[in-house]
Amino acid sequence: MENTCSRKSFFLSLILLGIMCIIYRIVYKIPLGGNLTIYPHLWGNILHPTVDLSNQHVKNLTEQNITPIKDTKHFLVSAYKDHRIDGTIRIISIFRRDDVRRLYCIIGCVQQEYLVTVTEVDIHSDHFGFPYQTTDLLCKTDPKCDATNVTISINRSTSDIPDMVFLPIRNRERKEHNFKHNFTVCISNLFGSYNNVLQFVQTIEVYKLLGIQKVVIYNTSCGPDLDKVLQYYREEGTLEILQWPIDQFLNPSKGWNFEQHKGDLHYYGQLTTLNDCIYRNMYRSKYLLLNDIDEIIMPYQHATLEHLLEDLQRQNPTVGVFLIENHIFPKTLFDDTGRFHLAQWEKVPGINIMEHIYREPDRKHVYNPTKMIINPRQVVQTSVHSVLKNYGDTLRVPAGVSRIVHVRVPLQGTLTKEQLIVDTKLWEYQEDLVPNIDSVLNKSGIYD
């Protein structure tokens, strides 16, 4: 009797709780799908015109790429002015999906004021099941505020400002042409003790011959020889290295799928760094190539990326996202002639991509995954193989025009050489390529 009674009240409380949850979600306009969007008009903008900044020093302006939001589980990465949406400030962040609460933007203005507005939270749609996810925090500004730095707080009060850590706001000037670079490669992530020096140097040197000016890499950790090569390229000016110590803040996953690989965050935060790379280079580079460290986006009918993009863009003026198919060259199959089995490369750690000329054929009913060349000014949010939000159109480039040369473990490992396609595209660059690779390996101390 007593038992039935407590069971009844238990179910009654459950039902009540459910109703309360729904009411809460309706009042705060939380969509039932789970993504939280806080609409700024619920609270309106609050301006604090009287906060005097003259005694505050810039010591709390951070250059770090990962900054915890105080008293929350979230992290700030970087802040950009987005000229496409009225100069709203977009903060790229890493957001714990279940830590849902109202957040405030505290914006430092040149006018010696702080503007406090309610943050709009836009969680990217591709979280692959991980608890942490790339998220845009959007801060509306006011024409009266020329914003220079920003932070996020759970408190709308400005009294703690001297203790807050602010991010500089980048991209304050908009540009539509005369970019510093035409082609920049974004390599989202370097982690573990990755020491594949030969493939890395060969890849960068091929890319230089194809006409790229800059490579951006997010570094969590790497092997000792690769570290030397990275430092060489940084001094030479090809490489921008951004430190990405994500493992000091979270338990990043080594894989892309939560069910399988566990951890807090997809693949060392690859999605976050890719999105950061787009905004960081929005007004520096005409095009960005988004690919992994062991992939080369290779034109097959043009000598350079410049000529490829000139043609593609002329034929498709509204396209800002070009999808390029990935094709596997198994590292287990070698060219029989040994033509590029060079003595000086034997002791260099890593794969010699010039020796792997066998390409796996397309499979029936299997869609080759893609990587991208983008016009960053047309992209709002990206995933790895396609973009999530953009302004213009997308084109899947035919593999005969451009494909990714990806030397790695085979996908179709049972196929023999006779069943693969001989593809010596890389050899066309040998005359310049081999001496350039040697020069880098020598100057960076790998031959010592």
Ligand X SMILES: *[C@@H]1O[C@H](CO)[C@@H](O)[C@H](O)[C@H]1NC(C)=O
The binding site for ligand X (CB under 6 A) comprises 53, 56, 58, 60-61, 108-110, 148-149, 154-155, 157, 159-160, 166, 181-182, 213, 219, 221-222, 227, 230-231, 241, 245, 344, 438, 442, 447
Closest separation between CB of residue 56 and ligand X, Å? 5
Closest separation between CB of residue 410 and ligand X, Å? 30
Checking DSSP bridges between strand 402-408 and strand 295-299, what pairing results, if any? antiparallel
Give the nearer residue to ligand X in terms of CB position, either 56 or 195: 56
Give the nearer residue to ligand X in terms of CB position, either 216 or 333: 216
Closest separation between CB of residue 31 and ligand X, Å? 25
Residue keyed to tokens 């091929």? 206
Give the nearer residue to ligand X in terms of CB position, either 212 or 420: 212
Closest separation between CB of residue 372 and ligand X, Å? 20
Q: Which of 410, 182, 404 is nearest to 293 (CA)?
A: 404
Give the nearer residue to ligand X in terms of CB position, either 109 or 312: 109
Give the nearer residue to ligand X in terms of CB position, either 283 or 329: 283
Backbone angles phi, psi at 168, to 5 degrees: -70, 145
Alpha-carbon distance of 90 to 389, in angstroms, equals 14
Closest separation between CB of residue 243 and ligand X, Å? 6
- Is residue 182 within 8 A of residue 286, CB to CB? The reply is yes
Give the nearer residue to ligand X in terms of CB position, either 189 or 383: 189
The CA-CA-CA angle for residues 250, 254, 258, to 5°, reads 80
Q: Which burial class, exposed, middle or buried, applies to 97 when counting CB atoms under 10 A from its CB (0-12, 13-18, 19+)?
A: middle
The number of CA neighbours under 13 Å toward the Cβ of 35 is 16
Give the nearer residue to ligand X in terms of CB position, either 108 or 269: 108
Give the nearer residue to ligand X in terms of CB position, either 162 or 361: 162
Alpha-carbon distance of 103 to 118, in angstroms, equals 6
Closest separation between CB of residue 166 and ligand X, Å? 4
Closest separation between CB of residue 54 and ligand X, Å? 8
Alpha-carbon distance of 305 to 315, in angstroms, equals 15
Give the nearer residue to ligand X in terms of CB position, either 12 or 110: 110
Structure tokens at 371: 């990587």
Q: What are the residues facing 351 on neighbouring strands?
A: none
- Dihedral, CA of residue 154, residue 158, residue 162 and residue 166, to nearest 10: 50
Closest separation between CB of residue 431 and ligand X, Å? 17
Residue type, 322: F
Give the nearer residue to ligand X in terms of CB position, either 159 or 337: 159
Alpha-carbon distance of 10 to 1, in angstroms, equals 14
Structure tokens at 272: 């976050």
Runs of H (alpha helix) within 179-321: 197-210, 224-236, 258-261, 270-280, 305-315
Question: Which residue of the chain is nearest ligand X when measured via CB?
Answer: 108
Give the nearer residue to ligand X in terms of CB position, either 157 or 301: 157
Q: Crossing angle of helices 224-236/430-443, nearest 10°?
A: 110
Closest separation between CB of residue 178 and ligand X, Å? 9
DSSP sequence for 347-384: TSSS--GGG--EEPPP-TT-PPPEEEEE-GGGEEEE-S
Q: How far is CA 376 from the centre of its chain?
A: 12
Closest separation between CB of residue 89 and ligand X, Å? 13
Closest separation between CB of residue 168 and ligand X, Å? 7
Alpha-carbon distance of 60 to 264, in angstroms, equals 28
Residue type, 330: P
Q: Which of 437, 438, 444, 446 is nearest to 208 (CA)?
A: 437
Give the nearer residue to ligand X in terms of CB position, either 16 or 58: 58
Closest separation between CB of residue 155 and ligand X, Å? 4
The number of CA neighbours under 13 Å toward the Cβ of 133 is 26
